[in-house]
A and B are shown apart, each in its own frame.
Chain A
Amino acid sequence: MSENIEYKSKGGIGWLSKMAWRDGKASAKKLGLFVASIVLGIAAVVSIQSFGENLKDNIQLQSKALMGADYRIDSNNPPNERVVAIMDSLGGPEAREISFTSMAAFSRSGAAKLVQVRGIEQKFPLYGELETEPAGAALSFIEKGAALVDATVMLQLGIKPGDSVKIGEITLPIAGSLKAVPGSTAIFSSVAPPVLIPYNLIENTQLVQTGSRVGYDFYFRARENTDLEQMDRVLGPQLDAQNADLDTHTSTSQRMGRRYENFGKFLNLVAFIALLLGCVGIASAISIYIKGKLKDVAVLKCIGASRRQTFLIYLIQIGAIGFIGGLLGTILGLLLQQLFPIMLGDLLPVDVDMSFSPRVIAMGVLLGIFMSLLFALYPLMGTLYISPLQALRVQNEGKENSGRAGLLVLGGIFLFILLFSYWLLEDWRYSFAFVAGIIVTFSILAGVAQMFMKAIKRYFPSSWGFPARQSLLNLFRPQNQTLTLVLAIGVGTFLISTLYFTKDVLLAQATLEEQQDSPNMILLDVQTQQQEAVTQTIESRELSVMDDIPIVTMRVQSIKGRSVNQIRQDTAANINRWILNHEFRVTYRDSLIASETLQQGEWISDVTSRDLVPISVSDNFADDAKVEVGDKLTFNVQGVLLNTVVKSVRLVDWSRMQMNFSIVFPAGVLEDAPQFRVLTTSLPDEEASAGLQQELVREFPNVTIIDLRQVLTVVEGLLEKISWLINFMAFFSILTGVIVLLGAVRTSKYQRIRESVLLRTLGAKSKQILKILALEYTFLGILGALAGILLSLVSSQLLAWFLFETPFIPSWVPFLVLLPGIVLLVLVIGLSNSVGVIKKPPLEVLRKGGY
């Protein structure tokens, strides 16, 4: 008999989808865990992406209100004729401001505090508004000759409207508390909170003196059809030449957006790692899932399904899981982003109105589908190579997955990670570094797991008791989950631990050295004639003046014979702009201090001639100004030109909280120049600090006091907030790790059950079986967590060396808290999934056979 057969399979996409659905719904429990593996990762990425977009949009929308104007011209000097002429050509400013940092004394408590004094005109802000309590105070304080004080300061010091504040030589009534003001950033405000006073009273404070650091701002409303970018391009360089600056509301908001974007990128990577971890879980779980399905695939092939059809049934199933995971993750991410403003609080420059971006939603869903398919592809390929003969009892050695196809999939995975990280970071160098970091981390953890398994095989502790030996054997049983579990536990621990160590490094950098000889209070702007009286005030409290540093302000006039204006106009010049525009605070002394080491040249302690003064510059100044030993620089010392030559370059440890200088003159040159002094002292406690501050402000209102303890509290608070957010993101990794762990434990559950039941049939007690399982999970927990912590030690050391350039002394906390915590977590998850089965009678399990 012979009959023509059309060798074309009829089971099309409809049937394949139906089969995927039929099979999927019966495996819903197992597939549910796969979904959970990616939900959190997607949620983390979506929440950060969506919040980032919302923040950027809000900054853009509110850019005028953030600045208070269309554009602003600012300078650290009163505007010269040229600047005034430019401003006049623009129609003149609508509002002016003079600002400086000073001490303020409050009448009610007598407390003194470092504040940012901002003298503003009635029309400011041109956009947005001053938010005050009572609301009317914003409009009336200028008329009344009163002050508005930062709301947090009012609350901290118990100040009420109607109290008064003393700034320099004037005392003003407080009209109300200031909740928000354009131009004050939250981070700076926490160190020097704003106090607004009428513009015309600034002079009466008598704090605007030679050497004071004062800001002059002029606010403009743009004429219709003004191209702000074009204006910036034309006027920017002209104003630069006059030591003034033009900022438009768009450029300022872009700059601000970029600052938050960078932080967002970092968080995105943390979120992406959570997603990758979830994908490792998917790959592992799918691998076990597909292994369980191979017999079914063989049967399907037996009854006529093609290779392509069987492959597609499961591919569609995984794609659908990815879609569900992506959708759920996106919804969760969009909900989670609502928490960010609460967590970040006043670190955010604007109130963020949340909206749902279709781009982010599409990204979340597609990411879910794509990553699931990508990571499931390799195990899925097993369906292609399974022989239908497996449906019979014949055990033939089926062809393993094609090595080349496997490599292709692996290449695809890394290519995707690279492209996605580039999409997040927009920098190939960082993207490659990130991918390399991922490969190294995962390889080391995988290597540790493999080495451990090999080591157990080779040096098997035959003398151990039965439960301990059995638990070790379980680690390399067929279809073991050791690698997945070590990866899941290790990556999660690594992330948390690295974040912890990094926070340590950052805080250690900012922490005051607690030795007695370290100053913790700095007194700025002490006039030469006040020096003696201030010293006496300090000494009368049985304290000592630790440093008395003279400060002379000056600007760079020329570098290697070229004037700063020439350099500014030279587009090819690679000298950093800040060198040309900055007003340097320079000191003179005859020796190096503890934070300095000589890098090049020779230290000159004193000179007698002023013809060509030998000076010392810091290494970063030398880099940015492109100068080296022997180069000549001319400084403008308040109108007097001073020729100098670089005689030495110093390496300065700027992280030490003490007065460091870019430029140091030798003794014998600047002694007669107009100058002020910086004094430092050390106080035993906050009470002593408050007392001294009150007295100093009363007696010397022009002196600015920086209490390093308070600064440190602010820095710590800031780091705390940021690390809270980072920890929050790392928590996703840990939670994903837990789900992957749960998945891995569940997928190997049936094998464990069968083993346990056989052991019980042979006479093992439940207690012994429990002990075997407990030991197995403990080994896995210790191995993963320890590898993660040790790896984080290495990465933190590298970060300390290359990024923070500071020594790293690891804390014991991760070893004492994280290690046992994670081992316990693994133990609880593992045992809670096994205890129920141990209690069942052996025959019930053996009869069911399905196990």
Chain B
Amino acid sequence: MSKILNVRNLEKTFSSGSREITVLKEINFDIEERETFAIVGPSGSGKTTLLGLCAGLDRPNAGSVELCGTNLDSLTEDERAILRNRKVGFVFQDFQLLPTLTALENVAVPLELQGAKNAIKKSKELLQKVGLGDRYDHYPSQLSGGEQQRVAVARAFSNSPSILFADEPTGNLDAETGEKIIKLLFNLNKEAGTTLVIVTHDLDLARMTQRVLRLKGGRIIDNSIVASK
């Protein structure tokens, strides 16, 4: 298996007034294709910042990220957006559906950005797959939290991504609905052969992945293969 994500000597600092705060330091790890991977750690450990850097949403102060064989540092903002559109899927904690678009339109956007001709047809199939075949024309405000997250999952898979980043995907859901979403996410991941990177607090969820990266104070304290896997 080849590497889909390669992170080397990553460092990220933020300035707060005259103070420099180091959020991430000396981060090194790889993720294999089709691997499921969890990033865990307490609040403020730098998990989401790391996810943002890996997905090319932000630039590091030092180090490099190679995503799908491309060094993100060499790309412009718009080129990184195109790379995300072709290769990356996202699931967010607070769903992040576009409130002015229907469920179907939300799922179709990544495909439409690619210029896909069958965007609507494929989006309908995906919505059916996540159990929302009767909710195409509903706006996010007309859906429950669980339904919104299912739409978000469908959207994340719509562009057949090579890697999917999920940021606390169950953080805003009750336990039962969260469980269903995770099941859906893992099933679709298996089916599509996508690499899955999950940022989570939930250690039970982390244990469902093949490998767990533990962060504390911006540094890696453990990068281990989960025993049961």
Contact = CB atoms under 8 A, between A and B. Distances in A.
A5 B84 CA distance: 11
B85 interface: yes
B70 A304 contact: no
A300 B78 contact: no
Interface in B141-198: 141, 155, 159, 162, 167-168
Contacts of B79: 7
Interface string A1-31: 1110101111110010011001111110000
Contacts of A506: none
Interface in B49-68: 49, 51-52, 55, 57-58, 68
A3 B85 contact: no
A1 B55 CA distance: 16
Contact of B93 (A1, A388, A393): A393
B27 interface: no
B112 A15 contact: yes
B52 A5 contact: no
A299 B68 CA distance: 21
Interface in A292-310: 295-296, 299-309
B221 to A, nearest CB: 21
A393 B200 CA distance: 13
Given A3-B69, A10-B114, A306-B81, A388 B57 contact: yes
Nearest to B119: A15
B85 A389 contact: no
B113 A303 contact: yes
A392 interface: yes
A24 B85 CA distance: 24
Contact of B110 (A22, A27, A304, A309): A304
A842 B44 CA distance: 33
A644 to B, nearest CB: 84
Contact of A305 (B2, B48, B81, B97): B81
B2 to A, nearest CB: 5
A639 interface: no
Given A5-B86, A23-B101, A26-B139, A392 B78 contact: no
A303 B4 contact: no
Contact of B2 (A1, A23, A391): A1
B125 interface: no
Give the contact-size bracket for chain B.
Answer: 35 or more
Nearest to B93: A393
Kindly name the residue among A299, A302, A387 whose own CB sees the greatest number of chain B CB atoms within 10 A: A302
A845 to B, nearest CB: 14
B133 interface: no
A303 B84 contact: yes
Given A15-B113, A305-B81, A299 B139 contact: no
Contacts of B96: 295, 299, 302, 391
Contact of B100 (A23, A301, A387): A23
A304 B85 contact: yes
Given A302-B57, A392-B167, A394-B52, A1 B68 contact: yes
A665 B150 CA distance: 101
A731 to B, nearest CB: 35
A850 interface: yes
A543 B109 CA distance: 93
A396 interface: yes
B144 to A, nearest CB: 12
Kindly name the residue among A27, A302, A304 whose own CB sees the greatest number of chain B CB atoms within 10 A: A304
A301 to B, nearest CB: 6
A22 B84 CA distance: 23
B115 A2 contact: no
A302 B84 contact: yes
B110 A303 contact: yes
Contacts of B100: 22-27, 296
Given A304-B82, A392-B57, A393-B93, A26 B115 contact: no
Contacts of B141: 850
B33 interface: yes
A302 B168 CA distance: 16
Contacts of A25: 100
Given A5-B70, A303-B85, A393-B167, A22 B101 contact: yes
B37 interface: no
B52 A11 contact: no
Nearest to A7: B79
B73 to A, nearest CB: 15
Interface string B102-133: 10010001101111000000000000000000
A299 B84 contact: no
Contacts of A295: 96
B79 to A, nearest CB: 4
A23 B140 CA distance: 13
Contacts of A307: 77-78, 81
Given A299-B96, A391-B92, A5 B113 contact: no
A301 B81 contact: yes
Nearest to A2: B69
Kindly name the residue among A11, A26, A309, A393 whose own CB sees the greatest number of chain B CB atoms within 10 A: A393
A395 to B, nearest CB: 10
Contacts of B42: none
Contact of A303 (B48, B115, B155): B155
A11 B14 contact: no
Contacts of B99: 26, 296
Contacts of B101: 22-23, 26
A22 B14 contact: no
B174 to A, nearest CB: 14
B82 to A, nearest CB: 5
A362 B64 CA distance: 55
A1 B115 contact: no
Contacts of B110: 303-304
Contact of A299 (B69, B78, B98, B167): B98
Interface string A274-315: 000000000000000000000110011111111111000000
B138 interface: no
Nearest to B171: A393
A389 B58 contact: yes
A25 B139 CA distance: 12
B83 interface: yes
Contact of B70 (A2, A24, A301): A2
A162 B130 CA distance: 96
Nearest to A23: B100
A8 B114 CA distance: 9
Contacts of A300: 98, 109
A10 B81 CA distance: 12
Nearest to B110: A303
Interface in A350-400: 387-389, 391-394, 396
Contacts of A5: 70, 82-83, 86-87
Given A304-B82, A306-B78, A392 B52 contact: yes
Contact of B113 (A11, A24, A26, A392): A11
Nearest to A850: B141
A23 B98 contact: yes
Contacts of B87: 5
Interface in A804-844: none
Interface in A639-673: none
A303 B80 CA distance: 10
A9 to B, nearest CB: 6
A7 B81 CA distance: 9
Interface in A6-58: 7-12, 15, 18-19, 22-27
Contact of B58 (A7, A24, A387): A387
10 closest Cβ pairs, A-B complex: A304-B85, A2-B69, A10-B115, A26-B100, A306-B78, A23-B100, A7-B79, A388-B57, A389-B57, A1-B2
Given A304-B114, A389-B57, A392-B52, 14 more contacts: A5-B70, A5-B82, A8-B82, A19-B109, A26-B99, A27-B100, A302-B84, A303-B85, A304-B85, A304-B113, A391-B57, A391-B90, A393-B94, A394-B58
7 contacts: A9-B81, A15-B113, A300-B98, A304-B88, A305-B85, A305-B113, A391-B57
